[in-house]
């Protein structure tokens, strides 16, 4: 597994992941130190090229990247400010990648105040249905939180999240997200066929490998290629 | 025979600020017109007249065609070009006595500016007419994309919004080009299972796919992306060849990185004294590109050598030969592996050619001539391949894109995740408005139509992309807040059962796009199709 754009996660999210990974003394560590430790933990491959200009990307940035004129647009016509959140209780899930989903939510002020007054707590109940099996676990969040990234596996199934409040020992489902389908790469679930498909492997590789030997940046691709190599295909 | 699908995607976000005498971000359009869209049209026209047997596909996004057919922006482009011509004449004079190594290029730039303006005027300022003529002569397959180039996977749980993006893309194409598009460029190659059903429901025959979608598909592919893919809805997917496209596209080893090619960044707008260059940069004294660049890439150094067009032309020939050879060699390898008549899908942003890669148009011309005259290649288009009814394979493909990591990380990260809370809430509210105020006419209908326009513009993938890349972030944020704020003006006014007419008229003047939009598109109970 790789950590994609880990720099973009908040300190709270980083601490949450670090705790899940068994990293101790999190509160004593700086944001950069947590990122470094997580990278080591996930053995992110420095040669993966994730930090290079991705040749897949559109050239829009090429059109705009020389500007650096932020002050100039300050004078654009103003519009009403957007609220920090909306006064409804809801939870949403968006797929970021094959290994992460992004969850955001809001809690109506009246409900939020009630939970706070009674010393209650809030959690995200993550449900992952994968290949007919169900995995459910809670991620404790604070009333001031409103977003979280959740790890997901490959598989044939989906992930959903419920927003749960617990007040005076009683849990209540406040909102449920829609489902996000898991990524199901055929080859990662049929590794036994790999050894008999040398020729097919070469064809696959020829589409996604550039002349300098680098491959398209994608976690399932990397895992599939690794599995093919482990199956000892003739390259 | 190697079948080559060259698919170019021309897109720019909708930028129109006629409330200002000049607006810097409008230069995105003017630079692309001057350096890509006009010279490319001239080149395609030229090789057609020369009888070159070529076919390519070009997507003009709805936002781009709207700007290209906007009289106010056309007028501003003429002003922009007249400034280039005036600067060119000054540069030809200046380089007679100073920076004399630049004199030849100064003359060329002046010539390009004059001929580009002539071409522009010869099409009565609407160059899309020229591209349509080539489509009528069966040289080009024209296709469309989502209305505002929204990255669709992040809106998949809002079928009305997806449908509105697809329908308004197709409708704008039909209005501008007079014919329905068969192909639909998935913005950022963003696909999710089920999107093809929406496309099929609206009469779309094909779309492109990210390269990695085949090896990581839900089914076992036996053609590895070298034959078209039949998606569950029967829409045909054309997977991008990452290997071949990276020969051009790679920022580290792609052809455009050659040290003899012209440098993109070193421009006299940044280097000449202010008193000289002031009339040609942005007011009051904001330096910007002028299109006059005299240096070669050289290498990772500030000390750039002067650009030598003859040397660059030699490199173009070498790169064309190398590109043709790479395709042919790959075809031989695939033939040996049991795949005959492979289909190579070469998808690029159009603005790479000419604008970013100065020699790119010359490269394209040489490539089309070379492939068109050789029996080793068949330049074709996706619709032609579909009509041939040649081999394809049924494949269920996972969600995918051509962004970093192959999914949504580019458009959903720490820099831009906050926008979805607001945009998706606006979609909820737009749906709510269609129920509360169904089938409104007159001012209320216009007010609601304006809300749907603002919502579509907020959904553009360009804003989160710019935030992710940390380039023109302030502008992107302003635009997004402006569209969402405008949407909220309608929502809150309609909630009070009022129409702010002055605001409405100004908003309609500001964003002159999608004249045929109907806000009822966002009604979840009405499954309108194109």
3-state secondary structure B5-58: EEEEEECCCCCCCCCCCCCHHHHHHHHHHHHHHHHHHHHHHHHHHCCCCCCEEE
Q: What is the reported pLDDT for A78?
A: 46
B259 in contact with A at a CB cutoff of 8 Å? no
How do A121-130 and A90-95 pair as beta strands? unpaired
In a domain, A173, yes or no: yes
In a domain, A214, yes or no: yes
In a domain, A127, yes or no: yes
Picking from B407, B454, B486 by the largest number of A CB atoms within 10 A of its own CB, the best residue to mutate is B407
ipTM higher than the 0.90 cut: yes
Count: domains in chain A? 3
Out of B9, B210, B472, name the one closest to residue A67 (CB): B472
Contact A146, A105 (CB under 8 A): yes
The answer to whether residue A6 scores a pLDDT higher than 70 is: no
Chain A neighbors of B188, CB-CB under 8 A: 58
> At which of A45, A73, A101 does a domain end?
A73
The answer to whether residue B357 scores a pLDDT higher than 80 is: yes
Which chain A residues in 3-62 lie under 8 Å from chain B, judged by CB atoms?
4-5, 7-10, 50, 52-62
CA distance A116 to chain B (A): 24
In a domain, A45, yes or no: yes
Chain A neighbors of B219, CB-CB under 8 A: 186
Out of B224, B288, B417, name the one closest to residue A204 (CB): B224
Cα–Cα distance measured from residue A53 to residue B522, given in angstroms and rounded to the nearest whole number: 37
| CA distance readout (Å), A231 to A191, A218, A225, B75, B222 | 8, 20, 10, 63, 18
Q: What is the reported pLDDT for A17?
A: 67
**Is residue A210 domain-shared with residue A130, that is, in the same domain?**
no
Q: What is the reported pLDDT for A5?
A: 46
**Is residue A197 domain-shared with residue A217, that is, in the same domain?**
yes
Residues ≥6 apart with Cβ < 8 Å to B285: B274, B278
Cα–Cα distance measured from residue B142 to residue B41, given in angstroms and rounded to the nearest whole number: 13
**Is residue A101 domain-shared with residue A158, that is, in the same domain?**
yes
Strand partners, A138: A125
**Is residue A60 domain-shared with residue A114, that is, in the same domain?**
no
The whole-model pTM stands at 0.90
**Is residue A193 domain-shared with residue A159, that is, in the same domain?**
no
Q: What is the reported pLDDT for B283?
A: 79
Q: Which long-range contacts (CB under 8 A, 24 or more apart) does A71-79 make?
A: A72/B24, A72/B282, A72/B286, A73/B25, A73/B472, A73/B474, A73/B475, A73/B478, A74/B474, A76/B475, A76/B478, A76/B482, A77/B19, A77/B482, A79/B481, A79/B482, A79/B484, A79/B485, A79/B486, A79/B489
**Is residue A104 domain-shared with residue A37, that is, in the same domain?**
no
Q: pLDDT tens for residues A47-87?
A: 433 334 443 344 443 344 333 344 444 444 445 578 878 89
Domain region containing A166: 90-181
Burial class (CB in 10 A: 0-12, 13-18, 19+), B49: exposed
| CA distance readout (Å), B362 to B267, B291, B462 | 21, 17, 28
Residue A140 maps to which CATH number? 2.60.40.10
**Is residue A104 domain-shared with residue A173, that is, in the same domain?**
yes
In a domain, A61, yes or no: yes
**Is residue A37 domain-shared with residue A16, that is, in the same domain?**
yes
**Is residue A130 domain-shared with residue A194, that is, in the same domain?**
no
In a domain, A206, yes or no: yes
> At which of A165, A181, A197 does a domain end?
A181
CA angle B155, B159, B160 (to 5 degrees): 105
**Is residue A97 domain-shared with residue A152, that is, in the same domain?**
yes
Average pLDDT, chain B: 94
The answer to whether residue B300 scores a pLDDT higher than 80 is: no
**Is residue A16 domain-shared with residue A66, that is, in the same domain?**
yes
Q: pLDDT tens for residues B457-493?
A: 999 999 999 888 877 788 888 889 989 999 999 999 9
Q: pLDDT tens for residues B125-168?
A: 999 999 999 999 999 999 999 999 999 999 999 999 999 999 99
CA distance B516 to chain A (A): 26
* A97-122: average pLDDT: 96
Cα–Cα distance measured from residue A122 to residue B275, given in angstroms and rounded to the nearest whole number: 63
Out of A58, A204, A212, name the one closest to residue B215 (CB): A204
Residues ≥6 apart with Cβ < 8 Å to A57: B402, B403, B404, B410
CA distance A205 to chain B (A): 9
In a domain, A83, yes or no: no
In a domain, A23, yes or no: yes
Contact A69 B225 (CB under 8 A): no
Q: What is the reported pLDDT for A13?
A: 63
**Is residue A176 domain-shared with residue A191, that is, in the same domain?**
no
């Amino acid at each position: 597994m790789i950590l994609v754009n880990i720099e973009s996660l908040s300190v709270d999210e980083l601490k949450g992941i670090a705790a899940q990974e068994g990293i101790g003394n999190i509160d004593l560590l700086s944001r950069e130190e947590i990122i470094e430790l997580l990278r080591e933990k996930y053995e992110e491959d420095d040669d993966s090229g994730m930090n290079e200009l991705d040749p897949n990307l559109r050239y829009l940035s090429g059109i705009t990247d020389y500007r650096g004129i932020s002050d100039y647009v300050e004078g654009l016509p103003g519009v009403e400010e957007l609220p920090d959140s909306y006064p409804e209780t809801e939870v949403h899930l968006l797929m970021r990648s094959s290994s992460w989903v992004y969850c955001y939510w809001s809690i109506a002020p009246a409900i939020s105040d009630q939970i706070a007054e009674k010393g209650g707590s809030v959690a995200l109940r993550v449900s992952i249905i994968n290949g007919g099996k169900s995995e459910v676990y809670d991620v404790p969040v604070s009333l001031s939180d409103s977003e979280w990234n959740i790890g997901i596996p490959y598989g044939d199934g989906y992930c959903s999240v419920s927003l749960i409040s617990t007040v005076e020992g009683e849990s209540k489902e406040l909102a449920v997200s829609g489902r996000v389908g898991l990524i199901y790469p055929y080859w990662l679930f049929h590794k036994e066929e790999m050894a008999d498909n040398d020729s097919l492997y070469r064809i696959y590789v020829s589409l996604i490998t550039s002349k300098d030997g680098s491959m398209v940046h994608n976690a399932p691709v990397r895992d599939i290629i690794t599995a093919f190599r482990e199956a000892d295909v003739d390259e | 025979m190697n079948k080559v699908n060259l698919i170019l995607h021309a897109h720019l976000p909708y930028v129109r600020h006629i409330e200002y005498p000049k607006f810097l971000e409008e230069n995105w359009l003017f630079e692309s017109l001057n350096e890509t869209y006009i010279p490319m049209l001239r080149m395609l026209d030229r090789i057609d007249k020369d009888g070159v047997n070529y076919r390519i596909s070009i997507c003009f996004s709805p936002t781009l065609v709207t700007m290209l057919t906007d009289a106010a922006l056309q007028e501003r482009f003429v002003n922009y070009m007249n400034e280039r011509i005036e600067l060119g004449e000054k540069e030809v004079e200046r380089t007679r006595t100073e920076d004399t190594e630049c004199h030849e290029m100064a003359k060329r730039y002046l010539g390009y500016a004059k001929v580009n303006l002539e071409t522009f005027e010869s099409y009565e300022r609407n160059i899309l007419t020229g591209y349509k003529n080539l489509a009528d002569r069966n040289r080009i397959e024209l296709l469309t994309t989502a209305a505002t180039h929204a990255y669709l996977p992040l809106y998949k749980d809002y079928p009305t919004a997806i449908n509105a993006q697809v329908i308004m893309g197709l409708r704008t194409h039909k209005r501008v080009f007079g014919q329905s598009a068969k192909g639909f460029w998935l913005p950022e190659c963003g696909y999710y299972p089920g999107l093809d059903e929406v496309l099929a429901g609206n009469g779309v025959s094909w779309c492109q796919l990210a390269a990695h979608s085949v090896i990581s598909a839900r089914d076992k592919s036996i053609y590895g992306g070298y034959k078209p893919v039949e998606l569950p809805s029967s829409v045909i997917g054309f997977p991008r060849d990452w290997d071949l496209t990276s020969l051009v596209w790679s920022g580290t080893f792609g052809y455009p990185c050659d040290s003899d090619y012209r440098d993109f960044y070193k421009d006299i707008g940044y280097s000449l004294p202010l008193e000289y260059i002031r009339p040609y940069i942005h007011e009051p004294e904001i330096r910007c590109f002028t299109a006059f660049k005299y240096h070669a890439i050289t290498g990772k150094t500030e000390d750039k050598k002067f650009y030598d067009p003859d040397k660059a032309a030699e490199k173009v020939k070498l790169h064309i030969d190398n590109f043709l050879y790479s395709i042919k060699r790959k075809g031989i390898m695939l033939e040996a592996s049991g795949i005959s008549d492979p289909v190579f899908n070469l998808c690029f942003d159009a603005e790479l050619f000419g604008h970013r890669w100065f020699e790119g148009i010359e490269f394209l011309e040489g490539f089309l001539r070379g492939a068109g005259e050789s029996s080793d290649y068949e330049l074709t288009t996706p619709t032609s391949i579909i009509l041939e009814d040649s081999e394809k394979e049924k494949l269920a493909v996972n969600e995918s894109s051509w962004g970093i990591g192959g999914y949504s990380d580019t458009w959903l990260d720490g820099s831009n995740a906050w926008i979805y809370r607001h945009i998706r809430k606006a979609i909820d509210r737009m749906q709510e408005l269609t129920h509360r105020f169904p089938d409104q006419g007159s001012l209320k209908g216009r007010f609601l139509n304006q809300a749907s326009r603002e919502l579509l513009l907020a959904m553009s993938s360009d804003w989160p992309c710019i935030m992710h890349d940390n380039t023109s972030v302030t502008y992107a944020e302003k635009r997004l807040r402006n569209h969402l704020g405008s949407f909220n003006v309608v929502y809150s006014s309609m909630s009070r059962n009022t129409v702010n007419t002055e605001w409405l008229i100004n908003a309609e003047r500001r964003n002159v796009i999608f004249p045929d939009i109907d806000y009822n598109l966002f009604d979840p109970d009405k499954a309108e199709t194109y």
